[in-house]
Every structure is written in C-alpha cells, then in structure tokens.
Amino acid sequence: MRYRKTIAALSLLLGVSASGAAMAREEYRPSFHPDRLKGPPAGKPNEVLTLGSPHLSEFGETFRPEMLAPLIERLAGWRPAIIAIERVSGLQCDALRRYPSRYTSTLKNYCPDPIAAAKATGLDVPAANAEAERLLAAWPASPSPSQRRHLAAVFLAAGETPSALVQWLRLPAGEQREGDGLSADLVALLNRQKERRNEINLIAAPLAARLGHERLWSVDDHSADRPDPVDAKAYGEALQRAWDNPATKARLAEDKALQAGLAQPDGILKMYRAYNAPQAPLLAYQSDFGAALSEPSGQAFGRSYVGYWETRNLRMVANIRDVLGQHTGSRLLAIVGASHKGYYEAYLNQMHDVKLTDANSLLR
C-alpha cells in the first residue's frame, strides 16, 4: 500500500515537472500589439516614408550631384511637410560635450564646434535653439533676406548646420553674403556645405528649400556610443570575421554593379530602388547584425555591437515620433543610411499614429 502511494506521488510530481518543462520551453509572446491598434479615428494620419540611402560621400568620380535630379523630383512629388536626417542634433552634441571621457570620438566625428557662430551671435547652443524656435513661431510668410541670414546664423549657433543651409539656399544668390549675424567665416562655412557630397547637403537641404521648408530635423542619436574597448583590436577582428560572409559578398557585388551603372539615364533610381527593395533589410541583417549576433567570442563582442545598434535605432525612431507628435497629421520623409531602414520601419510600425509609405512605390 505504501509502495503504491509512493509511486502515485512520484508520478504526480513527474507529471507536474514535465508539464512545467513544456511550459518553460514555450516562447512567451506578448498579447498586446500596438501595430494592430492604429489611429487616429478622425483627422489626417501621420505618414512616414523612409528612404534608405547609400552614403554619397563614399562615391567616386563616376557620381555627379546632378544625377540626383530624378530622385529629388519624385521626393518633391510626395510633398513631405517634414524632412528628418541622419545627423546628431546640436542639443545632443551639447549634452555629449559634458561627458568627454565617454564621447571624445563621437564629438570629433559627429559634432562640429559651434564656437564661431556663438561668438558671432552671442548665443550658446541651448539659447540658440530656443531663439530659433521663437523666431519660427512668429515667422512671416515672406521673410526678408535679412531675416533669413539672421535665422541661418542662429541655426549655426544652435549646432543645426543643415537647417542653416536650408535658409542659405532659400536666399537669392546676391543675398548670400555677410551680415545679420553671419561673419565671413560663417559665410565660407555655408558655401562649403553647398559643395559637400552627402545625402544631407545634396538631397535633404535642396529638397527642403524647394518645398518651402524652413528647416531640417536632426534625428540621429549617438548617446549609446562608448569609448573603444580595452581590447579594441580583438573587438575589431571579431567583427571583421563575422562580416566575412556570403551576404556581405552579395551586397558588395550589388553595390559595385549599381555604381558602375550610375551614368545610365535611370542609374540613380535603379540604385535607390535596390537599396529600398523589400529584401534589402534582411540581406543587411544577414551580412551585418545577424552575423555579429552569432559571433562566438567569449567577450560577446558581437552582442555588444548589436546592443549599441538596436539602442541607436530605437532612439532615432523616438526622435522621429517626437517630431510627429509636435506636428500631427504630417507627412515626414526620413532620409537615412540604408542599413537603418529595416529597423526604422519595424519600430515606426509599432506606433499607433504612424502610417508607413513604401519608398519603392515612389521610385518606380
């Protein structure tokens, strides 16, 4: 009798254990899905078009800025009210400067020193941002050249050089001169910006000026940056090994072919169609972030890198959502390096009040 009771108890215990193990093996899935709860019930939706772009600064002599005309024409036809760019804001740079031991490399690479504009205007970065907001809140329908020059100077002091360039481009050529807070050095800086070969200065700023915008929105985020690890050499070598894979070779081969075809009449559109194709984000993941996630070093170098990458994209998308919250019912064009595109759209799609637009529908 005692034996049978012991067997029964043991069977019950084993049954519970087996059931618990089965439950533990089940992957938990949340029941709440923000992407299925879209709004608003009334009024215009917020629409976002993410344009994944190559970094034009890396292109050789076969690329000429005038090749971008058909792309800019199509983007202008979509008529975005807001253009967001992959650039660290002046306010974030100002915050990072307070922590130089962590952000020395970040400041050097992403945060130009606004000291010349501060001297010319008497405004530090926070004060200049507040002044720019004050000016734009009361901005006239037809501002004078003097007002545009002054706002350009304020944007430079705010650490928002791309927005200063928009004001500069909206001035007639004869009014692009010193005065109203713009020193000779600042004028030279703005003229250099016009010639820089990157997607902000060649696409975003000219498009904003053409559409009558007063500014661009800097939404990049580098607050997750950290100093180089103590074992930086091992870190770099581990990631290079991870990135040496068939998906990377496929991307490089495609890039080479696309750049070779840039001189063709539809060369630039063909390139942007490829960078914004439905399969492009997964290929980028397989080449880069997925490969890093599987990197086997004991120091988990790849996982650290992926943690940085996801954090950066989450904060970039949060910045975009913040802008849309200030300008509800708007169309926003986000121009960003193509590796960000899949993350932008996946994260933005979680937002209740964001409707995505397919870039390729515009590029056909």
**What is the tens place of the pLDDT at every residue in 72-100?**
999 999 999 999 999 999 999 999 999 99
**In whole angstroms, what is the distance from residue 310 CA to residue 304 CA?**
10
Please compute the mean of the pLDDT values over residues 139-163 and round it to a whole number.
Answer: 98
The percent of residues in the chain predicted with pLDDT above 70, rounded, is: 93
Residues 6+ apart with CB under 8 A from 89: 159, 160, 218, 219, 220, 319
Structure tokens at 112: 């130009």
| pLDDT value of position 40 | 86
Identify the pLDDT of residue 19.
54
* Alpha carbons 289 and 342: distance in angstroms, whole number: 12
Both structure tokens of 137: 């809140």
**The predicted structure's pLDDT at residue 20:** 56
Q: Say whether pLDDT at 11 is over 80.
A: no
pLDDT reading at 122 higher than 90: yes
Binning pLDDT at 50, 70 and 90, where does residue 24 land? low
Which tens digits make up the pLDDT trace of 37-49?
A: 998 888 999 999 9
Predicted pLDDT of residue 2: 52
> Which residue has better confidence, 97 or 4?
97
R_g over Cα of the chain: 25
- Kindly state the percentage of the chain with pLDDT values over 90: 89
- CA 348 to CA 358: how far, in whole Å? 13
Q: Read off the DSSP letter of residue 179.
A: B
Hey, what are 171's tokens? Answer: 């001035």
- pLDDT single digits (tens) 338-353: 999 999 999 999 999 9
Measured between alpha carbons, how far is 301 from 232 in angstroms, rounded to an integer? 10
The whole-number pLDDT of residue 16 equals 52
Encode 333-351: b = buried (16+ Cβ within 10 Å), e = exposed. Answer: bbbbebbbbbbbbebbeeb
> Is the pLDDT score of 308 beyond 90?
yes
Does position 1 have pLDDT exceeding 90, yes or no?
A: no
pLDDT greater than 70 at residue 3: no
Whole-model pTM: value is: 0.92
Q: Is the confidence at residue 229, as pLDDT, over 60?
A: yes
Alpha-carbon span 255 to 170, nearest angstrom: 34
Domain limits of the chain? 39-81+229-364, 90-215
CA angle (150 as vertex; 148, 153 as ends), nearest 5: 110
**Cis peptide bond N-terminal to 40, omega within 30:** yes
Predicted local distance difference test score (pLDDT) of residue 25 = 74
pLDDT at 18: 54
